[in-house]
A and B are shown apart, each in its own frame.
Chain A
Amino acid sequence: MEAHTKMNDVQSTIVTVIEQLLERSNKSDIQVSLDSPIHGDGLGLDSLETAELSAILEDEFGTDPFGAGLMPETVAEIADYYIEGDGSNASVPA
């Protein structure tokens, strides 16, 4: 698989996961893009929503950047964790 195709898959999976999370939190009016900051004025996730995101990512990919002690600040930084290989055996579910 070409590197950029894989990158898009990972990024779009993460964007979908976050959109679903926001929908559950009745915040579906918020637009999710790669450069959206996760907290504050961006997606505005609180600590519990961040924990949910961490758990859902772990379910999806087997590992997650928050659990690994990293504190990604944007959606792109979450994706980078998987793309750059920190998420060692991460693969996108078919």
Chain B
Amino acid sequence: MTTSIGSGSPRTVIVTGGSRGLGAGIVQSFLDSGDRVATCSRSETQAVKEWETNPDYAGRFLFRAADIADREQSTQFVQAVIDEWGAIDVLVNNAGVARDGILALFTDEDSDTVIDLNLKATIHLTRQVVRNMLAHRSGRIVNISSIVGLTGYRGLTVYGATKAALDGFTRALARELGSRKITVNSVAPGYLKTEMSHGLDEAQLDQIVRRTPAGRLGDPDDIARAIQFLVDERNDWLTGQVLVVDGGLTC
């Protein structure tokens, strides 16, 4: 049985969508904390190539090109991690997509893309990982939702709906798994400097910064540190919560 969360020994961590943006920051954070990290995305990036060839990460970084909205590819990815390292200690559901546009002009295709990845893919992948965590009775799950799921944002109805749904998923799953030493929490980031926020124009970004008590947009590192806190072995009494990390924007 594995009880490897924290206590100095490396954990096995899955981060979905770790090739760039926030996911890449989360992967780096767990590589820095000495853990084994598996990630996937549809295409490989320079960051992935560097992790794969860096001797410091030899034997503790795994990448698979996979579209997790495709259930078969998602299943194969999780299986590859289990084949390589056995027990999964931490799952960070980070892969997500936003499509903006007011609902009245939104296409069904865009709705499907957003729901298929943010919600259905996350549920499918989590189910597989939960089965593994149940077999060894420990684990930490963090779902990356968004302040947009809490406050609503014009032009992000479907995206906001998936993020609010993820928070509901977090709470129900926390209840299901609490007795098995598996915690489930959401982190709801505010606006970050990643490609996803490139959909916003200069004026919108300026306005967000002006309204943010901390006076700046977020960095992937701001979020990664909050995740590290939630998955800490000692934090086994913290579950079913949504931790907002947004520089105070929504306070």
Instruction: Give chain A's interface residues, CB within 8 Å of chain B.
Output: 24, 48, 51-52, 54-56, 58-59
Contact = CB atoms under 8 A, between A and B. Distances in A.
Interface stretch (B61-69, B91-99, B129-137, B146-154): B129-137
B180 interface: yes
B37 to A, nearest CB: 22
21 contacts: A24-B137, A48-B134, A48-B176, A48-B177, A48-B179, A48-B180, A51-B131, A51-B134, A52-B134, A52-B135, A52-B137, A52-B180, A54-B131, A55-B131, A55-B132, A55-B134, A55-B135, A56-B135, A58-B131, A59-B132, A59-B135
Contacts of B177: 48
A36 to B, nearest CB: 21
Interface of B: 131-132, 134-135, 137, 176-177, 179-180
A77 B179 CA distance: 28
Contacts of B134: 48, 51-52, 55
Given A48-B176, A59-B135, 5 more contacts: A51-B131, A52-B135, A55-B132, A55-B135, A59-B132
Central interface residue in A24, A48, A55, A58, by most chain B CB within 10 Å? A55
A69 B83 CA distance: 24
Nearest to B179: A48
A59 B134 CA distance: 11
B76 to A, nearest CB: 14
A52 B176 CA distance: 12
A24 B131 CA distance: 16
A59 B131 CA distance: 10
Contacts of B131: 51, 54-55, 58
A66 to B, nearest CB: 10
